[in-house]
Homo-oligomer: A and B are copies of this chain.
Amino acid sequence: MVLGALEAGGTKMVCAIGNEQGQVLERVSIPTVSPEETMPQMLSFFKQHNIEALGIGCFGPINPVEGTATYGYITTTPKLAWQNYNIVGAFQEALGCPVGFDTDVNAAVLGEVSFGSMQGLDSCIYVTVGTGVGVGVFTGGRLLHGMMHPEAGHILLQRHPADTYKGKCPFHGNCLEGLASGPAIEERWGAKAETLGDRREVWELEAYYIAQACVNYTLVYSPKRIILGGGVMHQEQLFPLIRRQYQELMADYVITPELENLNRYIIPCSLHDDQGILGCLKLAMDALEKFLARALQHLGL
């Protein structure tokens, strides 16, 4: 199979060609400007390769719910040029092939359970902590949708009593993204996260918020693994701090075999930051499969 994958981000569009084994054969990165400027470049790349299907993991919010009026749209994003843009429709029309569509973080968790060390797991979440914070949710063997997709990076948290920072989120004073994203770290401490590696207090506080969110994710999703990725999680010293605070905050309330060893429960991504693009390949495969199933049904086969 020749599959297209698009990891659509706020700053760049990573376009790739790959196959059903999760091999990426070629990839290019195109700056995210506006649909008028950026779409033709992406289309030209995918057209060159005659792809059979495309999978898009997209910055949000988006509408990933098939059968609704604005399915396939990027909706209320602060990136004004892309607001209410029917990205799925544009690709379908120009490429004439099936298009799969979900959030960037849902694509990432799908990549991990399809091609990573979590392969075959039916319940798993992927939390990215970077410029923003987002959560991809795979439960009961499927990506979670409802009215729309999870926006679990914005859950409201208990502030640390010693933390007087007002938060970076324009909507919520005390949500995870506002308190723990890369820009929040930078604004709170007056320096970029990657230059603060040796400041213990920075990472203790960061771990407090991430751990508190992870406790809540365990309580709501009951996931069999929590994968932490994104730029901030490149600070590997965070993992033991998060696990320790998670244990304290959970206080043995939930007891399962999975939680016995947190080193195996709260883990880094296994695909070296390729989880997103590989998840997009899987979205393409799933879209193609669904398309074929519908076609067969139509033909009465």
Contacts and interface: CB of A to CB of B under 8 A. Distances in A.
A195 interface: no
Given A144-B139, A144-B222, A147-B224, A154 B76 contact: no
B171 A252 contact: yes
B75 A255 contact: yes
Given A220-B152, A220-B220, A256 B147 contact: yes
B253 A171 contact: yes
Interface in A33-78: 61, 75-76
29 contacts: A61-B254, A123-B146, A123-B147, A135-B220, A137-B220, A139-B145, A139-B146, A140-B140, A140-B144, A140-B145, A146-B221, A146-B224, A147-B224, A148-B222, A148-B254, A149-B222, A150-B221, A152-B219, A154-B253, A156-B157, A156-B215, A156-B216, A156-B249, A158-B158, A158-B159, A171-B250, A172-B251, A220-B220, A220-B221
A248 to B, nearest CB: 10
Contact of A154 (B144, B155, B158, B219): B219
A212 interface: yes
A223 interface: yes
A142 interface: yes
A147 B76 CA distance: 34
A258 interface: yes
B256 A150 contact: no
B255 A76 contact: yes
Instruction: For the complex of A and B, list the 3 residue pairs with the smallest distance between their C-beta atoms, beginning with the closest.
Output: A146-B222, A123-B146, A171-B253
Contacts of A222: 144-151
B258 A147 contact: yes
